[in-house]
Amino acid sequence: MKIFLKIAKIFGITVAALVLLLLIIYLFLPKQPDEIMAFDDPWRVDRPVARANTFMASTGTPWATRAALDVMSRGGNAVDAAVAALLALNVTNGQEASFPGVAPVLVYDAKTGKVWGYTGAGTAPKKATIERFTDQGYETVPSLNIWAQLIPASPDVIFALLMRYGTKSFGELSSYAITLAEEGFPATALMVRDLDMNIIERFAYYILMPYNVQVYLKGEWWRPLHHKEKFTRPDLAKTFREMAAAEKRVFDQTGSREKGLLAARDYFYRGPLAERIVAFHEKEGGLFTRKDLANYRGSWEEPITGRFAEYTICSNDTWCQGPVVPLALQILDGFDLRSMGHNTPEYIHTIVQAIELAIADREAYFGDPRFVKVPIKELLDPAYAVERRRAMTPGRAFPEMPAAGKPVKDKGALRSPVAEEKWELALNDFNFGRDTSYLTVVDGRGNAVSLTPSDFPLSPMVPGTGMTLGIRMVQFRLDPDHPTALQPGKRPRITPNPSMVLKKGKLFMSFGTPGGDFQPQGMIQVFLNIVVFGMDPQEAINAPRFRSQNFPDSFAPHTSYPSRVLLEKKLYDSVGTHLKDLGYDVIEKEDWDGANFGAVCAIIRDPKTGKLIGGADPRQESWAEGR
């Protein structure tokens, strides 16, 4: 016994000495920024409404906005500008909107007056089955895992846009992003927030995903990122250069812009980049095959539409949560919202209940329409909105997510949603990069693009490429009866969802926001601020916000908080007590809280003058500007 005690003592002393040695080494490691760059950071800074006579962009970072403006000033159209802005966001906001993640998009064609959507979400690889996950003991798709990766969609979106509507080459449009990635840009307050971890988390992240730490922390896990520190993405710049070179080789040989674009696309999905992605998956036990990548292709689609007064609200199909916006607004169209007063307890209660009813239908019905029969026509029937209004409870909060409606007589496919168990899991609280980004562009001809790119480096990045394949598989369910149940080749019902609004058949507004399940809630609030209360876009964006969490989170482990409403501080001070009296679990958050209340960007085309009016959210580094 004494021998064991002696061994234990020696072991304890050794461990303590090792910890002390590591602590001493850590104290002497450099932690200061390498180089600070000049930057007037617009985070939480008020700004005037943006006005322009010809064209405008409003995006998640000032660099993406200026890339779009530069493209349009050189004769490019809205699609050209949107692609340049997207690639710039992949660099300057890559921890939230990675290349090559998801990128759902809407395009307004001024010549025809039509809106078209494109499926900007990838599909599950063929090896991804519910049984494969549950056999490993998973109840939900794990985020810190290569199995969370979805087949990339953003490159396909880029080349589909350019081939159908664009005028410029990928090489020309990627040059803005390449310059930013190679020459560097100042780390924003948002980046510092997104990449903020304590020393233990940084070390654990380094052990789990060393290449990710190389990209975002220069491999120096002991040193936090500093505000305005010079930040570069050389590997991502190399990836863009390789794709552009593949395009140029074919264009020089054939003189065909389209063949050049296809060559750049093939370089990603069938060529060297595909080989690197698949080799990495094979090495790390992932699920991707060459066939998964080579066969991937999105498609154009007519938008889902609903009405509010004289406005038509457009969204992508039910492979994303976009139809929640027109669904909730059609419910609200039956109320005199203006008479309630802006952000009064009655107004907030009414908006929250309409949103919760729409999201209950999202949970019961929304999924990839190629795999799930979604009664979207019936859900958006005005008569159904009347029926859903009857389910509202004036003066009383829903105690949990309300039941889904019954828009069709044959209800065999209906899954009655229930509020899921509140589940706290420390591992899922770990964040390194989060949220999403957004961009919208309107050009001098009246064409417009609304695009919501996303994905963050919580699963292993592809070494040497700078590419984040994201964790969107976590938005599948491992319940075979759920409409967004995992199936090979299926799209998860993703949260990113851009929006557009038409008035009398012409573009009125293009807008969107990051924010996960908050996205439709933020868009609805800003839309109503503008069309009901007459605010300009910047006033509408700046106004304090509220958020319901009375439904399962779209991200695993799909936590739900019955009756919970989050309020920015100004709202909490004015209406928090009243909402508690209605039965809400009210949580106070700080004002202009981008982590919980998104970052809306919006552009309006004045139907009388044709001039553009825009806004960008101070809750993040979003920026609106025009010429």
Amino acid 196: pLDDT: 87
Q: Tell me the average pLDDT across 19-43.
A: 75
Alpha carbons 31 and 226: distance in angstroms, whole number: 9
Task: Say what percent of the chain tops pLDDT 90.
Answer: 86
Q: Give CA separation, 432 vs 95, 225, 621, in Å.
A: 8, 12, 18
Of 526, 545, 468, 599, give the one whose Cα is nearest residue 59.
Answer: 599
Asked if 231 and 186 count as a contact pair (C-beta separation under 8 A), the reply is yes
What's the distance, CA 371 to chain centroid? 23
Backbone angles phi, psi at 585, to 5 degrees: -85, 100
Q: Indicate if the pLDDT at residue 17 is higher than 60.
A: no
Amino acid at the residue 418: V
Determine if the peptide bond prior to 100 is cis (ω within 30°).
Answer: yes
The confidence score (pLDDT) of residue 34 equals: 81
The fraction of the chain above a pLDDT of 70, given in percent, is: 91
pLDDT digits (tens, 9 = 90+) for 411-433: 434 444 443 433 333 334 455 55
What does the alpha-carbon distance between residue 249 and residue 127 come to, in Å, rounded to a whole number? 35
Q: How confident is the model at residue 230 (pLDDT cuts 50, 70, 90)?
A: very high
**pLDDT tens, residue by residue, 152-169:** 999 999 999 999 999 999
Distance, CA of 476 to CA of 271 (rounded, Å): 29
Q: How far is CA 256 from CA 79, 171, 178, 415, in A?
A: 19, 14, 24, 50
Closest CA to 260 of 166, 342, 355: 166
- What is the per-residue pLDDT for 422? 36
State the DSSP H helix or E strand holding residue 500, giving kind and residue range, or none if neither. Answer: strand 499-503
pLDDT at res. 411? 46
Tens digit of pLDDT for each residue in 97-153?
A: 999 999 999 999 999 999 999 999 999 999 999 999 999 999 999 999 999 999 999
Contacts of 70 (CB under 8 A, 6+ apart): 84, 176
Q: If you average pLDDT over residues 217-227, what whole number do you get?
A: 90
- 534: which residues sit within 8 A by CB, 6+ positions away? none
- Mean pLDDT along residues 362-366: 98
CB contact at 8 A, 302 and 116: yes
Closest CA to 333 of 412, 388, 415: 388
| Residue 22 binned pLDDT confidence (cut-offs 50, 70, 90) | low
Whether residue 457 is predicted with pLDDT greater than 60 in this model: the reply is yes
pLDDT of residue 276: 98
DSSP β-ladder status, 564-568 and 585-589: parallel
User: Is the pLDDT at 270 greater than 50, yes or no?
Assistant: yes
Residue 33 has what pLDDT? 81
pLDDT band at 294 (very low <50, low <70, confident <90, very high): very high
Prediction pTM value: 0.93
DSSP per-residue string spanning 291-334? HHHHT----EEPPEEEEETTEEEEE--TTBSTTHHHHHHHHHTT
Question: Encoding tokens for residue 592?
Answer: 């202009």
Q: pLDDT class for 223, splitting at 50, 70, 90?
A: confident
The predicted pLDDT at position 409 comes to 56
pLDDT of residue 4: 53
For 381-403, how does the pLDDT look when each residue is reduced to its tens digit (9 = 90+)? Answer: 999 999 999 999 999 999 999 99
Residue 607 has pLDDT above 90, yes or no: no
Could you count the other beta carbons within 10 Å of the beta carbon of residue 133?
20
What pairing do the DSSP bridges indicate for beta strands 56-59 and 439-442?
antiparallel
Indicate if the pLDDT at residue 90 is higher than 70: yes
Determine the length of the chain.
627
- C-alpha–C-alpha distance, residues 364 and 386, integer Å: 19
CA-to-CA distance for 110 and 120, rounded, in angstroms? 22
CA distances from 391 to 133, 354, 410, 551 (A): 38, 9, 20, 16
Mean pLDDT of the chain: 93
Contact 616, 587 (CB under 8 A): no
pLDDT, residue 416, reads 43
Which pLDDT does position 412 carry in this prediction?
39
